[in-house]
Structure 1
Amino acid sequence: MHRWIITLSLLLAVPFARGEEGIVAVLARSQLARLDATAAADPAGARAQTVRHSFDDLVRALAIQPPAELRVIRGETLAESLQGHIVLANERLAELNEGERLFILAHELGHIALHHWAQTEQLYLKWVPGAVTPQQTEPVAAMLGRDASGQAHRHELEADAFALHALRALGRDTHDAFSVFMHLGVTRDTPTHPGTRKRLASLRAAEAALTGAVAQPATRNEPIESVKRVD
């Protein structure tokens, strides 16, 4: 299953630390391992250059802070943010139309601009303030999992809204924010991501807030009904 919405892993099965390693160091090590596992695309390839051009346009137009670094990759991951400043983007994004590609990239940039990684670190520090040991993590695992899941869902919806605003700032049709889900397939809720229906409902509410319209509930005529379900 190809997914671009896998930006903030919850690490519910935290790898135990080395010595007196704290949770922030464990999280950083996990992110580095994730980064090391990716395969770089040919930077001179036409698809990689198309993705980079869209990314550079977004960064210039939105004045993203902190500075974001793009790494164009190949493989299963479609797009992901890591370490609070790196965006992984698959060269396959070049196959989408420009507006859809911008929405996906802007979603990942939203995680960076909204400081989601720092917020994730703070949440884990709240529950695991000392060295990472079984004695520290096992008693709080269920509560940490609950809070981390809720935060991850909120972050995804916030990044979607950020990307919707980015499309409007670029003068793009916000329909691309919705049509991109036609390519991704319908998903249900997971511990890290809200399902497609929730994301579309949140996007409709965000669009209504921008236009002053009233968000309408989903109907059977909505495009989501024709999208292949992904389990």
Structure 2
Amino acid sequence: MKPLLSTRLSLIALLVLLGAWPARAETINDVLDRSQQLQLESFELAAPDGREAQILQQSFNELLKALAMNGQAELHVIVGPTIAETLNGHALVANARLADAPEQVRLFVLAHELGHVSLNHWRQMGLLFQKWVPGEIDARRPIEPQLNERMGRDAARLANQQEFEADAFAGRVLTKLRPASYNPQGVFMYLGAQNDTVTHPSTQRRLAALRWQADLLKPQP
């Protein structure tokens, strides 16, 4: 459930150090898109005809239909430590272990990632980086440390905001699809508590935002 901001930035430096920068001119968004594709290709896929993949695909299809988002996103069921994330604005990565999670957890995680797609979060992040690094990148002239720090600070703020927005999106979806069983605290208790990070608010802050949203969505007497 993360955009992997730090991975993007480190990959830019890594590509320069390894001499992997292509001969053609590239923008910062070209590099970020390529790094996301490399990340996607690095995952180990679960068996597509396995039980876990089928369960996740069924939940994913239900959400696509409810949200009228057919064709806007694709699902990749993986194995490994990553729970879920969205890459290049449309490729959803979800861990096969989610097939054994309670349904509300599975739906929330997938809906959260679809929120990143629906709300154009990848495009927003690209525009932010483009503001700091306009035009083409010269591999012989690395990004200045001070510029990189300021860019990273702005990107971290945006990433945190996007997590709140994706949570709110998922909360609205589950409130409509599973009004009797949706419990934000139950979702995050299952996923485990996390502290604030560069790209993600803490579990406590995310839960507080979801409770506030749930109060707003309650029918008025």
Which interval holds the TM-score relative to the shorter structure? Answer: 0.7 to 0.9
Question: Judging changes above 3 Å, is the alpha-carbon distance between structure 1 residues 29 and 93 closer, same or farther for their aligned structure 2 residues?
Answer: same
Q: Give the superposition deviation at 1:8.
A: 4.2
| Per-residue deviation, residues 140-191 of structure 1 (Å, max 9, x unmatched) | 1111011000000000000000000000121334643321211222111111
Three-state SS of the structure 2 residue aligned to 1:44 is: coil
1:9 aligns with 2:5: yes
Query: Which of 69, 72, 75 is the matching residue for 1:70?
Result: 75
Task: Work out the percentage of aligned pairs sharing the same amino acid.
Answer: 43
Name stretches of at least 5 consecutive residues in structure 1 with no aligned partner: 214-231
| Per-residue deviation, residues 29-86 of structure 1 (Å, max 9, x unmatched) | 1101100100110111111111110000000011127611111111111111111111
Greater helix percent: which structure? 2
Query: Which residue pairs with 1:206 in the alignment?
Result: 213
Q: What is the Cα-based RMSD across aligned positions, in Å?
A: 1.8
Q: State whether residues 167 and 173 of structure 1, in contact with CA within 8 Å, keep that contact through their aligned partners in structure 2.
A: no
Q: How does 1:1-231 map to 2 (within 5 A)?
A: 5-10=1-6, 11-13=8-10, 14-15=12-13, 16=16, 17-19=21-23, 20-64=25-69, 67-133=72-138, 134-173=141-180, 175-211=182-218
Three-state SS of the structure 1 residue aligned to 2:56 is: helix
TM-score by length of 1: 0.84
Three-state SS of the structure 2 residue aligned to 1:48 is: helix
Question: Judging changes above 3 Å, is the alpha-carbon distance between structure 1 residues 212 and 40 closer, same or farther for their aligned structure 2 residues?
Answer: same
In the alignment, the residues of structure 1 paired with residue 134 and residue 108 of structure 2 have an alpha-carbon distance, to the nearest angstrom, of 36
In the alignment, the residues of structure 2 paired with residue 112 and residue 199 of structure 1 have an alpha-carbon distance, to the nearest angstrom, of 19
Three-state SS of the structure 1 residue aligned to 2:40 is: helix
Question: Judging changes above 3 Å, is the alpha-carbon distance between structure 1 residues 205 and 135 closer, same or farther for their aligned structure 2 residues?
Answer: same
Aligned residues: 209
Q: Give the superposition deviation at 1:135.
A: 4.7
Name stretches of at least 5 consecutive residues in structure 2 with no aligned partner: none
In the alignment, the residues of structure 2 paired with residue 99 and residue 12 of structure 1 have an alpha-carbon distance, to the nearest angstrom, of 33
In the alignment, the residues of structure 2 paired with residue 128 and residue 66 of structure 1 have an alpha-carbon distance, to the nearest angstrom, of 31
Three-state SS of the structure 2 residue aligned to 1:172 is: coil
Q: State whether residues 8 and 81 of structure 1, in contact with CA within 8 Å, keep that contact through their aligned partners in structure 2.
A: no
